[in-house]
């Protein structure tokens, strides 16, 4: 039976993987929360891998507080670079495949066409720089590493844009939301499902497993702005909150945000035969899972 170790199991993607695990009885999962496995502890990781020897490690542990990272660069580096390095080295010794999540923030270049994995990177924040450095460390230490760059991740739990809008939409009659940041949201459950489908296929197909190595983009299809995303949330839930579009410079943040982060998904779709949902479909499903039965 294929053994899968999931770190950061209380995060959005980690929790979605846990919910979906029962659909894959041929895969054996071990989900570890931060209190059980601090990925900055190299000795703990080495001991765990020596005992478990997993076939796959899905790393959902990360420092994701984008603005706070500006004042905590050492901690962000310890988790996003050093911790990833420890996991990658342990995977290499165990003969395991590492699957690691990265961010659209690593691109932050000036183009306005969908970003391909081969396009230039130019991270502009502590968070983005540590994510890119973590990618490089993982690929160097463990050639059998799959990097998934994703964007605007949300789920029915944790801290994310959808949950924030739902809370504020019930507390306030109107909101101001940025309209000049362009990208595509990603429902964590769809990403988790796609990943498990790929792993399942890789367990029986050496060619699929060989294609796991490298960098892949994944987000929902379509394109939107944070303003239009907020509008869709209130439209689907029928919350009577008025949304006003504002520019990025009217809402300054400690960490710079990329103005354009629409990801090109052609590589991952071609490699693994994926059909990726439109972002409105993902949002509808998420809201329905949260209890908004009329979402549509």
**292: exposed, middle or buried (Cβ count in 10 Å: 0-12, 13-18, 19+):** middle
CA–CA separation, 292 and 296 (whole Å)? 9
Concerning whether 127 is annotated as a catalytic residue, the answer is yes
Q: What is the mean pLDDT of residues 235-246?
A: 96
Q: How far apart are CA 154 and CA 171, in angstroms?
A: 20
Active-site choice (107, 127, 187, 218) = 127
Q: Cα–Cα distance between 216 and 239 in angstroms, integer?
A: 36
| Short-list 61, 56, 71, CA closest to 40 | 61
pLDDT per position as a tens digit, 45-90: 999 999 999 999 999 999 999 999 999 999 999 999 999 999 999 9
CB 76 within 8 A of CB 126: yes
Which residues contact residue 121 at a Cβ distance below 8 angstroms, ignoring those fewer than 6 apart?
Answer: 106, 107, 108, 109, 132
Q: State which H helix or E strand residue 31 sits in.
A: strand 27-32
Report CA-CA distances (Å) from 51 to 5, 57, 173, 176, 225: 12, 14, 55, 51, 46
Mean pLDDT of the chain: 96
Render pLDDT for 202-231 as a digit per residue (tens, 0 to 9): 998 888 989 999 999 999 999 999 999 999
- Give 110-145 pLDDT, tens digit per residue: 888 999 999 999 999 999 999 999 999 999 999 999
Helices 126-141 and 84-94: crossing angle in degrees, nearest 10, is: 10
């Amino acid at each position: 039976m294929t053994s899968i170790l999931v770190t950061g199991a209380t995060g959005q993607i980690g929790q979605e993987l846990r919910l979906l695990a029962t659909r894959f009885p041929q895969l054996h999962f071990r989900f570890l929360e931060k209190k059980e496995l601090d990925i900055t502890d190299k000795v703990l990781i080495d001991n765990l891998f020596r005992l478990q020897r997993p076939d796959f490690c899905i790393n959902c542990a990360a420092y994701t507080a984008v603005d706070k990272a500006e004042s905590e660069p050492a901690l962000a580096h310890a988790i996003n670079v050093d911790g990833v390095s420890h996991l990658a080295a342990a995977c290499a010794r165990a003969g395991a495949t590492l699957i690691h999540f990265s961010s659209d923030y690593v691109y932050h270049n000036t183009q306005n066409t969908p970003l391909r994995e081969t396009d230039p990177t130019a991270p502009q924040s502590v968070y983005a720089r540590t994510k890119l450095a973590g990618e490089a460390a993982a690929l160097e230490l463990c050639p059998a590493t799959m990097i998934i760059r994703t964007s605007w991740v949300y789920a029915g739990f944790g801290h994310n844009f959808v949950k924030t809008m739902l809370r504020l939409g019930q507390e306030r009659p109107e909101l101001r939301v940025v309209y000049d940041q362009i990208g595509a949201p990603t429902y964590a459950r769809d990403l988790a499902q796609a990943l498990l489908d790929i792993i399942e296929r890789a367990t029986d197909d050496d060619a699929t497993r060989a294609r796991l190595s490298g960098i892949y983009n994944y987000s929902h299809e379509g394109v939107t702005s944070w303003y239009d995303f907020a509008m869709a949330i209130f439209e689907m839930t029928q919350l009577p909150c008025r949304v006003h579009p504002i520019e990025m410079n009217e809402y300054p943040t400690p960490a710079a945000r990329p103005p354009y982060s629409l990801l090109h998904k052609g590589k991952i779709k071609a490699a693994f035969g994926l059909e990726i949902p439109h972002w409105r479909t993902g949002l509808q499903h998420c809201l329905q899972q949260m209890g908004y039965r009329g979402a549509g």
